[in-house]
Amino acid sequence: MKILICENYEHLSEVASNIIEDKITANPKCVLGLATGGTPEGTYQRLIDKYKQGSLDFSSVTTFNLDEYYGLNGRHPQSYAKYMYDKLFKHINIDINNTNIPQGDVDDIKKECKRYEEAILEAGGIDLQLLGIGTNGHIGFNEPNAYLKTKTHLVKLKEETINANSRFFEKKEDVPTRAITMGIKSIFRAKEILLLASGPEKAPIIMELLKGQLSTYVPASILNLHPSVTIVVDKAFIEYLKKQNVELSAI
Ligand code: F6R
């Protein structure tokens, strides 16, 4: 596991976009796993800038998003499909037919989860998976629990996730209580993983993850078993460690 420490959020976004750029340049037909939420917004903006400057071509790239709110149609303003379209896809030359997001408003949820899982496999698997992390350690929407599901599935969101994501909705009651998410194995099958965590509120869970202990109550801790993980944090993490009197090398 490699950890990169950046000055601030802007720097973190630059570093993350450079890693993604390198991946696309090395393999223009690569399959990217994408995340939503606040953290990757800066990264997506940098990727748009690179595309506009002519240094990036998305025409042969395929993407799979981690998750979608259950019950939301892809045109709903708070759906992750709309987020991806507004924050990245509409600004670049990606073929929209090569972008994949679980469909949140289906009748047959089991069928949709199976379809999504198979689509990832059919595309040859994910080359680089971008991840954020919940303050409770979730990746995708794999919430802390006594067990973790391996494949794409319907999940009940934890109260802390609903609270955290209520900032994107008019009121907390509008946040869907369930989501479709890739499972731990779907994420884990990615050849390379890039996890971004910015700000003081993410520092405690990053410290927990770096301890190298596995727990289903810290779903991200499973990443300790993956052969190729890069974690990009900003200075807030180092400041947190200082306050705890902990050296990074001692975790
Ligand atoms: C989003 C996702 C989540 C977020 C996490 C952090 O697709 O799967 O795991 O990455 O909740 O969200 P932010 O970046 O808003 O703090």
Residue 251 confidence (pLDDT) above 90: no
CATH class of 2-250: alpha beta
DSSP labels, 86-101: HHTGGGS---GGGEE-
The domain locations on the chain are 2-250
The answer to whether residue 248 scores a pLDDT higher than 90 is no
pTM comes to 0.97
Please state at what angle helix 41-52 crosses helix 80-87, rounded to 10 degrees.
Answer: 40
pLDDT tens digits, one per residue of 162-183: 999 999 999 999 999 999 999 9
pLDDT above 90 for 136: yes
Q: Percent of the chain, pLDDT > 70? A: 100
Outline where 93-158 has alpha helix (H).
Answer: 109-122
What pLDDT is stored for residue 82 in this prediction? Answer: 97
C-alpha 168 – ligand 1 centre gap (Å)? 12
The predicted-structure confidence for 4-33, as pLDDT tens digits, reads as follows 999 999 999 999 999 999 999 999 999 999
pLDDT reading at 133 higher than 90: yes
Is the distance from the beta carbon of residue 141 to the nearest atom of ligand 1 less than 6 Å? yes
Banded pLDDT at 249 (limits 50, 70, 90): confident
User: Lowest-confidence range among 141-145, 210-214, 247-251?
Assistant: 247-251
Which residues belong to the active site? 67, 136, 138, 143
- What SS3 class is residue 218? strand
